Structure 1
């Protein structure tokens, strides 16, 4: 949407210049008025000539002339007018220069804003000098540009990765159909089974993308939620998967009340537990789920055994479609959005998700949410 057009008006620099000159004129008029009133208070109405013998110097001195108010006014008025004219010119010139100097940082911020509006998000104000209101505004604007640039870069990577991930099942489907058309001895049942698997993966990926978008927008109704109940639901749902993989699940802790979307927080818990089950030891692994509450809010901790993880790789696991090569399984590789969705849901609820490798191998995921 384009900016609303407004009629042109005087610049801020001109307004400040007129304000400076105006205040200077008011101060000058006030000062001259005070001096004039003080002088007129001790001056007679008419001019008076004091004879020499009555003057303080005595005889031999010229007669003393004391001007009247009209004489004083005639002599004082031109000089006062000249002084006011000088103050007006001085106020206009000095005010114009002073206003320009004061507004110079604002001009730099405006240039950076226009550059950002044209798509140049890498441009920064970089205002030098000591801390003041303009410096605070420039620093806040630079920080906003930095966040926007990082967000745009993340969205571009996400769009590219999503396109690649969605193209893969579509390309596989097209290849299967082309082979089936040219193969007279094709096995229809096998073809349908493979197409069903590919289609299921595409559906799972699309639903994950929609869930991630919903969590990023924060479009949900908030209500009281107990993370301990969600942890029990998630572990009960994923218990068959854990048994098939030979992974034991242990839940502990007490009530952890918070506020948010029960469906999204259940998805968050399910994703973390599912990730802990899938990326575990081939046999004899374990998953521990714990909920706590305290002054810092509600906490959900999911730990799992597994292979040793590179501490440099762990922070990137919450990015969409990021899978550590050592964490990918051929049977349950997923769509690469489980931890990204968990991180997005956590941010949408005003919380934090912290991932850390365990000393003995595996991963520890800690979710901290505001208390109810």
Structure 2
């Protein structure tokens, strides 16, 4: 934003200090003058020319005093303002560096806590979060580009084959193109869902997580039966506030992930919704292969998959748990992934409980 040039804050503070000091000096000298001019002085009041003598002796002294106050105020005010504004200069320099794209710089203002140091610490915290967010977005964009390039490359290869061999059976090529195109559409919709949740551009309403868990389990029951997985749901009323569509997507992703990443046969999935003081909790557990804590910590990153043993027709796009994480954060909740000792995962989503006073 272009602004016309003006006085610096240091100059303004200097003039303010000087002006205040001069005003105090004028008031003090004025009080002295009133004292000398109005109060009766026994033994002096009868002296001829007393008042004129007082004026002649007081005026030069007052002028010297005011001149000294002016010089002292300007010099002292300039030094004092510079010392007081030095932290602000460091914050301004860090802001300019951040505006130029350098997010790794930190102010780290030394000294005891005051308003400037609170501002500097808050700015450092903002830079750290912004740096992490930008790094995450860059990784996400790179992974998304890679994932989208794969179906596009496959489609191009299939079309090249069909053009090079016109007599080839087109049924197989069309079927493969349909599958590849469906995967690209699913990936694009997932990316849009992540962006929407990350921006928190949704309307909040009252939601019962236990009902969403039952709806997700009912919708995915055929998939569980196909995989030979036993699906069990339980829980109490768990009221929270948020986007019903996004929270249903969160629940569906968790249950879907628990089904497809399971044992080859006789696997199990447990879905439980419960309430704690001030929060509601959705827990999804599944049997499966052993998962290390190091691997569990990476599963919420975009395009990360727990195992390669995933059926091709339900492999997903690698954004299931990344979407869960984004939706959870958008609802001010926490997501925890814990490996089960016997194999599989326990995934817990904890969200703020709905305020019962909101309906009153």
State the secondary structure of the residue aligned to 1:9. coil
The answer to whether the 8 Å contact 1:43/1:69 transfers is no
Counterpart in the other structure of 1:56: none
Higher mean alpha-carbon deviation, 155-164 vs 27-36, is at: 27-36
Counterpart in the other structure of 1:220: 202
After superposition, residues 301-316 of structure 1 pair within 5 angstroms as 301-316=283-298
2:327 equivalent to 1:329: no
1:83 and 1:182, CA in 2 relative to 1: closer, same or farther beyond 3 A? Answer: same
State the secondary structure of the residue aligned to 1:225. strand
2:41 equivalent to 1:43: yes
Structure 1 distance, partners of 2:131, 2:201, is 23
Structure 1 segments of 4+ aligned residues over 6 angstroms from their partners? none
Considering only CA atoms, is the larger Rg found in Structure 1 or Structure 2?
1
Counterpart in the other structure of 2:110: 128
1:328 and 1:37, CA in 2 relative to 1: closer, same or farther beyond 3 A? Answer: farther
After superposition, residues 1-372 of structure 1 pair within 5 angstroms as 3=1, 5-40=2-37, 41-43=39-41, 48=46, 68-183=50-165, 185-324=167-306, 326=307, 328-331=309-312, 332-372=314-354
State the secondary structure of the residue aligned to 2:84. helix
TM-score (norm 2): 0.93
TM-score (norm 1): 0.90
Q: Once the two structures are superposed, what CA deviation does each residue of 1:302-349 show, in whole Å capped at 9, x if it has no partner? A: 11111111112212211211223x355242332110011111111112
Structure 2 distance, partners of 1:131, 1:82, is 41
Structure 1 distance, partners of 2:168, 2:157, is 13
Q: Once the two structures are superposed, what CA deviation does each residue of 1:118-175 show, in whole Å capped at 9, x if it has no partner? A: 1122222222222211111111111111111111111111111101100101101111
1:126 and 1:172, CA in 2 relative to 1: closer, same or farther beyond 3 A? Answer: same
1:85 and 1:45, CA in 2 relative to 1: closer, same or farther beyond 3 A? Answer: farther
Structure 2 distance, partners of 1:353, 1:214, is 19
Structure 1 distance, partners of 2:319, 2:56, is 90
Structure 2 distance, partners of 1:203, 1:86, is 79
Structure 2 distance, partners of 1:230, 1:262, is 8
Q: CA RMSD in A?
A: 1.8
Structure 1 distance, partners of 2:19, 2:167, is 97
TM-aligned CA deviation for residue 185 of structure 1: 4.8
Q: Once the two structures are superposed, what CA deviation does each residue of 1:180-200 show, in whole Å capped at 9, x if it has no partner? A: 222355222111111111111
Q: Once the two structures are superposed, what CA deviation does each residue of 1:58-90 show, in whole Å capped at 9, x if it has no partner? A: xxxxxxxx9823322221221121011101100
Unaligned runs of 5+ in 1: 50-65
State the secondary structure of the residue aligned to 1:288. strand
